[in-house]
Amino acid sequence: MSVAARIAGPDLHETSVAPRSRSRMLALVIALAFAAVGGQLVRLAWQNEDASTIRVSMMSSPANTLARPDIVDRNGRLLATDVQMPSLYADPLLIQDADEAAERLVRLFPQIDVRELRQSLADKSRRFVWVRRGLSPAMAQRVHNLGIPGLLFVDEIRRTYPAGRLGGHILGRVDIDNRGTGGIERYIDEIGASEAAVGARLSARAPVRLSLDLGVMHALDEELAGAMVRYEAAGAAGLVMDVLTGEVVASVSRPGVDPAVYEDALDPSRIDRIAAGTYELGSIMKLVTVAMALEMGRSLDSMVDTAEPLKAGRFTIEDLHPLGRPMSVSEVFIHSSNVGAGQLALSAGAATQKAFLQKLGLWSALKTEVSSGPAPQKPQQIGRIEQITLSFGHGLATTPLQFAAASAALMNGGTRVTPTFMALDGEAPVVRGERVVSARTSALLREVMRRNVTDPAGTGRRADVPGFEVGGKTGTAEMAAKGGYRKKSVLASFIGTFPSSEPRYVTLILLFEPKGQDVTGGEITAGRNAAPTTARIIERIAPLLGVPAKSL
């Protein structure tokens, strides 16, 4: 080999090694770079603890939210249902400017405390902050359009009530986690009909079917609203009950409540006047007093000494329109004689009177699916004056629902029924319960109820509806106030039944503090306002309930 060759050989070898070394070095650098990026991703993922998964898991935890079955009326019409709605939350770690984000959010949600929200969004140690739950799709879109990083949405279950305030007192409400806090909603949880929510999945359970009829509810609500305007009443309430089964077909209290509006539940003027309020109901209680007298063997023609007012200590009991002569039991009822009712109670005795009220369920609290109900306000002892006042509806304050149930028993042949808001499936209703009065007493009560509507002198004559055999009794009670009663403020009521020859339904209508009008001749008595309101209601609901009109 030449000298040149020996010299050139080593140079060529070194030239071929250099590029390979550089390639290896470059590959190593790239690998290290990828490793660093991957390590950073792993670190971030570990630090975030799979935040989105954890947040969704936390928000849909079975311990937090319940999926609820639908609530429908007796005909399957929807009263309450769950829907999927977006809820807004924030990840403070991703919020770039907490002040700006808070200010812009409060423009959309004025109810939010801007200072509290700003502090929450600025707290980088937190990864989850609720902003607003249960947004409409339109509002969610407005939030999305803000374009603020760190504002995120998750679907949640929310309760909605298609009928609004109609039936609101009965349905109750749910809290932010869809848990029942009152009414039928609470009852659903008590019987285990709700279930832990998995994500935003809706309940697959069968609907809860109520005894209510939405059509009858609407008619009742509309007529009560009209009566409040017509008679300038401060409030109104009414119910319709099946006398054979105790099913509440309609129950309305005005002003109403919207189950979806939390503030409604806090307004004391929106109390459920049917099941949650106790009132001295006035002369409709004479139905009970006459029933007691008939149970003791009297007839409708038995005479009662009503020629003079009744004395009880410093009190004198008089009739509004005294006849100045003895009356029959029937006349005591039709003319609504306080003196006559007092005489019937005194002849029965305090022990018998109390036992009869207890038997009818008017002496203790009434529990239903909607609530436990308040205890009646009753006298601690029953002396002469208490006997007399109890006979015509003062001195004992009960819920209207209790009185309607007692009246149903008096109308259906004498068997006690338990009020219920749940639909009872079955064929022709058969009453099975404790007998509280005889069939004879019940028949005579139906007769005198009908007479009170058809007799020209009857206080209930304005409740008559041709073709539907309405029977009933008026009540006008001065409303209690501190230290006594307010003479110009009354609770006007009417207990009705139809068809009276073979009753299927009782109605109870109440008007709170009605004013005298030209149409009432300036009077505020129930015969002038609650009775004609009952007529309007029965005329509308009887066809809805399948009660045929008769040629009379």
Question: What 3-state DSSP class applies to 392?
Answer: coil
C-alpha pair distances (Å), 192 with each of 68, 69, 180, 185, 368? 10, 11, 11, 11, 17
- CA 170 to CA 174: how far, in whole Å? 13
- CB 412, CB 433: distance < 8 Å: no
Burial readout 102-119 (b: 16 or more C-beta within 10 A, e: otherwise): beebbebeeeeeeeebbe
SS3 sequence of 217-260: HHHHHHHHHHHHHHCCCCEEEEEEEECCCCEEEEEEEECCCCCC
Contact predicate 510/491, CB 8 Å: yes
Q: Which of the following is catalytic: 60, 194, 283, 328? A: 283
* Nearest to 401, CA basis, from 431, 366, 376: 366
328 is an active site residue: no
Q: How far is CA 252 from CA 264, 403, 420, in A?
A: 15, 16, 15
Q: Under a CB-based contact definition with an 8 Å cutoff, are residues 80 and 71 in contact? A: yes
Q: Which residues of 424-435 are buried (b: 16+ CB within 10 A; e: fewer)?
A: eeeeebebeeee
Judge contact between 72 and 207, C-beta under 8 A: yes
| Structure-token pair, residue 389 | 């006042």
**Catalytic residues, which ones?**
283
